[in-house]
Amino acid sequence: MPSPYRAIFGPPGTKSFSAAGLLGRMPLSMLGIGVVTMVSQLTGRYGLAGALSATLALSAALLGPQISRLVDRHGQRRVLRPATLVSVTAVAGLLLSAQQRWADWTLFVFAACAGCVPSVGSMVRARWAALYRGSPRELHTAYSWESIVDECCFIFGPILSIGLCTAWFPESGPLLAAVFLVAGVFWLTAQRATEPVPHPRVAHTAGSALRSPGLRVLVVTFVATGAIFGSIDVVTVAFAEADGRKGAASLVLAVYALGSCVAGAVFGLLHLKGHASRRWVVGVCVMALSMVPLQLAGTLPLLAVALFIAGLSVAPTMVTTMALVEEHVPREKLTEGMTWTSTGLAVGVALGSSAAGWVVDAAGASHGYLVPCAAGLLGAAVALLGYRRLRPTAPAAHPAGSAGVVQQGGAEGGAEQSDSGGERVL
Consecutive H or E run containing 52: helix 46-74
- DSSP string computed for 229-290: HHHHHHHHHHHHHHTT-GGGHHHHHHHHHHHHHHHHHHHTT----S-HHHHHHHHHHHHHHT
CA–CA separation, 160 and 260 (whole Å): 19
pLDDT number for residue 15 = 93
Residue type, 274: G
CB 194 within 8 A of CB 127: yes
What one-letter code names the amino acid at 398? H
With vertex at residue 54, the alpha carbon angle to CA 52 and CA 55, rounded to the nearest 5 degrees, is 65
- 76-99 and 120-131 are packed helices; what angle lies between their axes, rounded to 10 degrees? 160
Spatial separation of the C-alpha atoms in residues 258 and 313, rounded to whole Å:
11
- Give the right CATH number for 14-199+208-412 from 3.40.640.10, 1.10.10.10, 1.20.1250.20, 3.40.30.10: 1.20.1250.20
Nearest to 226 by CA among 367, 341, 122: 341
List Cβ neighbours of 245 (8 Å cut-off, separation of 6 or more): 300
> Going by C-beta distance under 8 Å and a sequence separation of 6 or more, which residues neighbour residue 179?
none
For residue 200, give the DSSP letter: P
Q: How long a stretch of residues is the chain?
A: 426
Q: Give the separation between CA 150 and CA 127, rounded to whole angstroms.
A: 16
Each residue's pLDDT, cut to its tens digit, for the chain (426 residues) gives 457 888 899 899 999 999 999 999 998 888 888 888 888 888 877 778 878 887 887 788 788 888 888 888 888 999 999 999 999 999 999 999 988 888 889 999 999 999 888 889 889 988 998 888 778 788 888 888 988 888 788 778 877 888 888 888 888 999 999 999 999 999 999 999 999 888 766 445 556 777 778 888 999 999 999 899 889 988 988 888 888 887 788 788 888 888 988 988 888 887 777 778 888 999 999 999 999 999 888 788 899 999 999 999 998 898 888 878 878 877 777 778 888 887 888 788 778 877 888 888 888 887 889 999 999 999 999 999 988 888 765 443 343 333 333 333 333 333 333 333 333 333
Q: Cα separation of 414 and 342, whole Å?
A: 25
Answer for the pair 323, 412: CB distance below 8 angstroms, yes or no: yes
Q: What is the 3-state secondary structure (H, E, C) of 300-313?
A: HHHHHHHHHHHHCC
The full set of domain ranges for the chain reads 14-199+208-412
Is the separation of the CB atoms in 333 and 33 below 8 Å?
no
For residue 228, what pLDDT is reported? 93
Tell me the C-alpha distance between 144 and 147, whole Å.
5
Q: Give every CB contact of residue 333 below 8 A, 6+ residues apart in sequence.
A: 69, 72, 203, 204, 208, 209
Residue 118 to residue 109: CA distance in whole angstroms: 19
**Greatest CA span in the chain, whole angstroms?**
60
pTM of the predicted model over 0.85: no
Classify 393 as helix, strand or coil.
coil
Q: What is the pLDDT of residue 415?
A: 35
Closest-CA residue to 276 (of 397, 139, 414, 379)? 414
CA distances from 241 to 149, 222, 244, 353, 382 (A): 29, 29, 5, 16, 34
Angstrom distance (rounded) from CA 282 to CA 381: 12
